[in-house]
Amino acid sequence: MKLEEFSILVIDEDTDRAAIVERGLAEGGYTRVSRIGTSYNLVERVQALAPDVIIIDLENPDRDTLEQMFQVSRAIKRPIAMFVGQSDSSMITASVEAGVSAYVVDGLRQDRIRPIVEMAISRFNAFDQLRRERDEAQAKLGERKLIERAKGILMQQKGLSEEEAYALLRKNAMKHNRKIYDIAQSVITAFQLEF
């Protein structure tokens, strides 16, 4: 998808500030832009709009408004650029932990909007790739542990060697056209039912 095709949601109560962002997006070639304020049910409203990118613009955010924004960033896995007028280190830390991809203090200028959006998208994609790789590695480790546990049960219950236990799991997986960890889970479940 070309950057210009992304749908962008601007969250801002101040129409003048929002207009600066919207003009910057228009100059950058973005045509699918909508805006909402920070009133109630923000997460649900953002989910209903399903934007590709979210821009949050807060002049001087209070804790309640920040918490709403962090709920949005945790619930909706999208690139988020946050513009704030004032900041402190705890706000920056909380923003990064909540998943904000670009955090800009006192830098709301039309000509900076497109590069900041592009950076937010790029950074989000890089972190998303790392997150997927981590999740995949954790899943594989979990599967490996499950197989090891099933082998241990087979070794103990049937007096098999480790190689024989693995061969039995593999044979049954092939016979039933299933994955080895599925067969391992069945072995563990059957063992738990017996005891």
Domain end, chosen from 87, 105, 132, is at 132
Note down the domain range covering 171: 133-194
pLDDT 10s per residue in the chain (195 long)? 676 688 999 988 888 888 888 998 988 888 899 998 876 788 888 888 999 999 888 776 666 766 777 787 778 888 988 888 777 788 778 777 777 888 888 767 888 888 888 999 999 999 889 989 999 999 999 999 999 999 999 999 999 999 999 999 999 999 999 999 999 999 999 888 765
* pTM assigned to the model: 0.71
Total tally of structural domains belonging to the chain = 2
Residue that the structure tokens 């959006």 belong to: 117
* H or E element, residue 21: helix 15-27
Return the CATH number at 94.
3.40.50.2300
pLDDT, position 3:
64
HSE-up of 18 (CA within 13 Å, CB side)? Answer: 16
Residue that the structure tokens 């821009």 belong to: 55
pLDDT, position 87:
75
pLDDT, position 101:
86
With both helix axes pointing from N to C terminus, report the angle between 180-194 and 113-158 in degrees, rounded to the nearest 10. Answer: 50
97 and 36 fall within a common domain = yes
Return the CATH number at 176.
1.10.10.10
